[in-house]
């Protein structure tokens, strides 16, 4: 059976169940439907469709990752909106710029996913706040050599993501 046929069979057999499973966790039928679609898109876009012995366990594992990313995006958006609320009205970006900035933040968060927290923090202090190595070292209470290692690790992640 071709991979796309496998996904089609999986979709028809388990889409309603998965949507219900997500609805119970989210409490919102619209978000549940969106995340169910995202789950199947992940299955469809996988390099190889594995042989699926337990379809619901397989879908649950992927859906949990999708759900985790959903909550991360919500947290990131909430933090961004809180930061915007602290700005004087004249400095608040337009709705279009807000959307662009939020999308960029989400892409950056995804790009840095998996890096240790101090590495992410050093990278953000350098790239977003524009701090020097010395300033980052003082802020994080680490050596300049460690700052350099952290920034190199983050830079490599960014480079290989392109």
Query: DSSP class of residue 51?
Result: P
Which three-class secondary structure state does DSSP give residue 53? coil
Per-residue pLDDT tens over the stretch 26-35: 999 999 999 9
Can you give the residue range of the structural domain that contains 23?
A: 1-92
User: Total structural domains in the chain?
Assistant: 2
Q: CA 11, CA 43: separation in Å to the nearest integer?
A: 10
Q: Assess if residue 128 is contained within a domain.
A: yes
Average pLDDT over residues 130-137: 94
Residue 38 located in a structural domain: yes
User: Is residue 108 assigned to a domain?
Assistant: no
Please, which pLDDT band fits residue 3 given cuts at 50, 70 and 90? low
* CA–CA gap between residue 4 and residue 41 (Å, rounded): 11
Domain assignment present for residue 98? The answer is: no
**52 pLDDT higher than 90:** no
- Could you tell me if residue 102 is inside a domain? no
Report field, pTM of the whole predicted structure over 0.85 = no
DSSP of 8-37:
HHHHHHHHHHHHHHHHHHHS-HHHHHHHHH
Assess whether pLDDT exceeds 80 at residue 1: no
Are 6 and 85 in a shared domain?
A: yes
Distances (CA, A) of 71 to 4, 31, 38, 68, 124: 29, 11, 14, 5, 21
Q: What is the CATH number of the domain that holds 50?
A: 1.10.1740
* CATH number of the domain to which 139 belongs: 1.10.10
What pLDDT sits at residue 149?
Answer: 97
């Amino acid at each position: 059976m071709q991979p796309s046929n496998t996904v089609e069979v999986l979709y028809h057999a388990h889409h309603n169940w998965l949507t219900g499973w997500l609805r119970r966790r989210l409490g919102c039928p619209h978000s549940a439907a969106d995340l169910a679609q995202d789950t199947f898109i992940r299955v469809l876009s996988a390099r190889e469709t594995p042989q699926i012995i337990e379809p619901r366990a397989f879908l649950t594992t992927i859906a949990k990752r999708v759900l985790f990313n959903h909550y991360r995006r919500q947290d990131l958006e909430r933090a961004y909106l809180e930061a915007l609320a602290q700005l004087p009205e004249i400095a608040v970006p337009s709705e279009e710029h807000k959307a662009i900035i939020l999308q960029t933040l989400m892409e950056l968060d995804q790009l840095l996913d998996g890096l240790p927290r101090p590495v992410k923090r050093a990278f953000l202090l350098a790239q977003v706040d524009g701090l020097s190595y010395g300033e980052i070292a003082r802020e994080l209470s680490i050596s300049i050599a460690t700052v350099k290692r952290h920034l190199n690790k983050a830079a490599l992640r960014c480079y290989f993501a392109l």
